[in-house]
Structure 1
């Protein structure tokens, strides 16, 4: 069914009721028409919008966020960041700052908030369910997203109304929901920034499961460099964009669903139907009309010559209805595939950071409203619903709804889980000994041994006295209640190993998280273990496990000097026929290619742990001998990888068994979607995590900026929009 926008008269882009008619004219006409409303040339064709979004050096985001006028600019100096959102930043600052939050907003990780969000939605519905009617924007669509984003950031969600009033300063006259003069809202905004600074200081020393704590973790780990003032700038803009767009999306989406009872019923069958319906609604009418860009050099876009200094308006809403990309583009079609992704959340480096949270929130909102409001219907004729003024954002002034009144029912509240704190396990240092002059072994005891069960290959996170986290392999007996780790003192490291060597004593109480394991032993007829120095630690329990299973094994132990190689004498004494020691100071550099002649051709694996130089050499050697799938490595440091030029790779889709070839100029995402995989995507640059797919076989070459170091090392998932394969073949859960 086609939803027809009411006709209007007057200048283009002034009447919100005929916005899509005007956008269609910009899309199908010649050149790029200028619009006073959008203060630039309107780009309405899909391909041209995408071209500009993926060329941020030519199309700068600087004009996306305006500057604060006087006298507030002077009042805010030093207290409110002048560029208080990522949207208006260009590189290198944009990517540097956004890298601190990318992994937090991955869809898979946001799932932990689902129970809390659902409970808040039910509590909000409790306030009007007995009335049989409500104006949804004020009673639900605005307050719930703001409460959610405040909680996710780490602020007190009970203060969300106050936070919304403070953020209203940035909306200017468009903020019709919070009374107050600009000066009053400016003071609220200053107070809000002071409050956020207080929470930042508290989270620096007392981490929780929220965005503020996450950024502190990223800063502390060295993954991102950022000042406190830059960190402060991240939160107000994120909260403003997050709650305003989410409120508009649910109102516009519901209006289209309720305009046709059959359509509403089709969308509300289950969670899958809700997710599919929402994706089409994001395409059909997004909360973002488009974004401005500043042209930085003379360039041709869609055959139109643009001069440096001109401003263009990338009309996402027009691109998402481009008939050359979407069949029946002016119709709502829940069966649409996503071989061509919509532009509802943008694309490129500025793709909506909160898109995964919006998808989760709106799906829950639809579910709760459907469950709690029987016979839900519009409270006014669909053609009379009023839209807000035409601008970069798209929304409705109000959404009146009616239903059959019901009494508030008793419900069991969902538990609120502090995931970060619940994972911390207290331990006591029960013993310490020097294994070599630079390797210290610690024995840790816990009062809850049942919750720290582990298998060979596992590691844990040790929280040091200064609050930082370091990862160490477990090297003791799996059946013991004690946990043993060995720490190499690294003079050129970040200071964690030196702190442990110099300060941690018997009797000290520390905390651990884990254990976790992505280095498990596979069933095999033969195992070769390759250790480089301290890399012997995860292999020690693996050797014991191989002995227990009766699996033939050998150990190649590499190091500079024998006296510096931990546990070497004990290993030689216990397994003289199985351990091959190679100190390079005595024997020179070991030829890694020799390894593959010593490993049986079938049903054998090489497990290796050690310095990156050793592991990279092993991977290159395995590639030369067509043995990539037989090598399993364990790293605890980021690998500096120079990505090889693209080459054709094969990808098998596990659900259909079909194998496809991804060409040099193609990406895995598009090829799989052409085969019907229907993998969602947003940024298409590896920054949002939407296109994540599970890896069943093969080793991906990670090119994203979303996965953590541990997730990259585990190789269990990949971002299909940018990542490829280190070998020749992948098997993906698609």
Structure 2
């Protein structure tokens, strides 16, 4: 007999302290309790939490599960943790590439892909290496005579922030404001009062950049987005371009920042894997894929079944929000042996779900992987005796749901 939306077990709040304090253990408990559980975010509208690899992968790949609740009659509105935001701010939060379906999604993705190409990403590599080198120089100066250096503040945040600015086309003189906006956009629940002004200021700035690039193109992503068009003349609107940049800042920057910090911690805890990388540097790309399996992404966007569906023994009504727990799937022992251990020899390249799967697979994944590879390789080459400056249990973690990430990582450089 299957469970139904009318008879769920006690719901799990993903914002509860026991989940945010130790998501690996919390997801393991959920995963073994049931493949699909009733849950919520901060006591918000009820949703179904999908815990096991095969079911999560189905939610991400089956076109029955839609990203946009407006596509399903009677579906609940998408839940947001930001209360009392004005309609113009909601406009920038909704309708992004990762939140639409069908022909609308195909159109946007096709247009964006013409500008955000593999060649453009690969062409950034020399500049990423240069930026990483400059940041490591500053770290070396700050860490002289054994002084501890916080990797998150001095490297993990700065590297992807600078790369995003270079990619998008943000002038050096404007980057102080840009970095401040980025911090607010990445932690919306901590900047609720100022967030509307941040969105407006950032959007106004981007509309200005778009107008300037339309008049005088440069070799940057905004210029490419302005110029790209389909054979039938279809182009991205200015508002669509602004939303894309918001997505890059919120999703791309934060994911890469957290991936670098988490990866350093993981490699220091797995000296055998770090030794292999030093012996065989060609294994760095595979190492980064395996590190991405272990976080930082905890879950994807809610999906909404277009019709009643059975998943993990639960009958889910059409339109009920279904949340795919990415980290739970990526540490499911049914799919990965010794799942919480880093192992470069496991085949995770096409198996893990850290960047999603299917039609909505993360467009920025190649950039994130390249940044992390360059950053980690440069860091451990430059500082071969890198070590934690405090005991492992004193490392602070970001205590909010959605990401598993170190909040600070004090290191001694050698």
Fold shared, TM-score > 0.5 on shorter chain: yes
Greater strand content: 1
Structure 2 residue 86 is the aligned partner of structure 1 residue 73: yes
* Aligned partners of 1:14 and 1:37 also within 8 Å: no
Structure 1 counterpart of 2:166? 151
Structure 2 counterpart of 1:258? 268
Q: Per-residue CA shift, 1:28-79, capped at 9, x if unaligned?
A: 3335112234752211111111111122443334466739644x414648xx
**Gaps (5+ residues) in structure 1?**
1-9, 176-180, 405-734
Distance change in 2, residues 1:128/1:100 (3 Å): same
Structure 1 counterpart of 2:47? 40
Please give the residue correspondences for 1:519-534 in structure 2 after superposition, counting only pairs within 5 Å: none
Please give the residue correspondences for 1:22-61 in structure 2 after superposition, counting only pairs within 5 Å: 22-37=26-41, 40-61=47-68
Structure 2 residue 150 is the aligned partner of structure 1 residue 135: yes
SS in 1 for 2:304: strand
Quick one: distance in 1 between partners of 2:279 and 2:142? 25
Q: Alignment RMSD, CA only?
A: 2.8
Quick one: distance in 1 between partners of 2:347 and 2:106? 31
Distance change in 2, residues 1:220/1:96 (3 Å): closer
Q: Structure 1-normalised TM-score?
A: 0.49
How many pairs were matched up?
387
Structure 2 counterpart of 1:117? 128
Quick one: distance in 2 between partners of 1:221 and 1:208? 23
Shift of 1:162: 1.6
Q: Structure 2-normalised TM-score?
A: 0.84
**Gaps (5+ residues) in structure 2?**
1-11, 70-76
Q: Which of these residues, 14, 27, 51, is aligned with residue 17 of structure 2?
A: 14
Q: Per-residue CA shift, 1:399-419, capped at 9, x if unaligned?
A: 111113xxxxxxxxxxxxxxx
* Aligned partners of 1:40 and 1:313 also within 8 Å: yes
Structure 2 residue 370 is the aligned partner of structure 1 residue 360: yes
Quick one: distance in 2 between partners of 1:305 and 1:214? 46
Q: Which has the larger radius of gyration?
A: 1
Structure 2 counterpart of 1:239? 249
Q: Which of these residues, 99, 103, 121, is aligned with residue 92 of structure 1?
A: 103
Shift of 1:89: 2.1
SS in 2 for 1:41: strand
* Aligned partners of 2:299 and 2:327 also within 8 Å: yes
Please give the residue correspondences for 1:158-557 in structure 2 after superposition, counting only pairs within 5 Å: 159-172=174-187, 174-175=189-190, 182-219=192-229, 222=232, 224-269=234-279, 271-338=281-348, 341-404=351-414
Distance change in 2, residues 1:21/1:188 (3 Å): closer
Distance change in 2, residues 1:331/1:69 (3 Å): closer
Shift of 1:90: 2.6
Greater helix content: 2
Distance change in 2, residues 1:382/1:290 (3 Å): farther
Distance change in 2, residues 1:267/1:61 (3 Å): farther
Query: Deviating runs (4+, > 6 A) in structure 1?
Result: none
Higher relative contact order (CA 8 A, sep 6+): 2
* Aligned partners of 2:149 and 2:410 also within 8 Å: yes
Structure 1 counterpart of 2:4? none
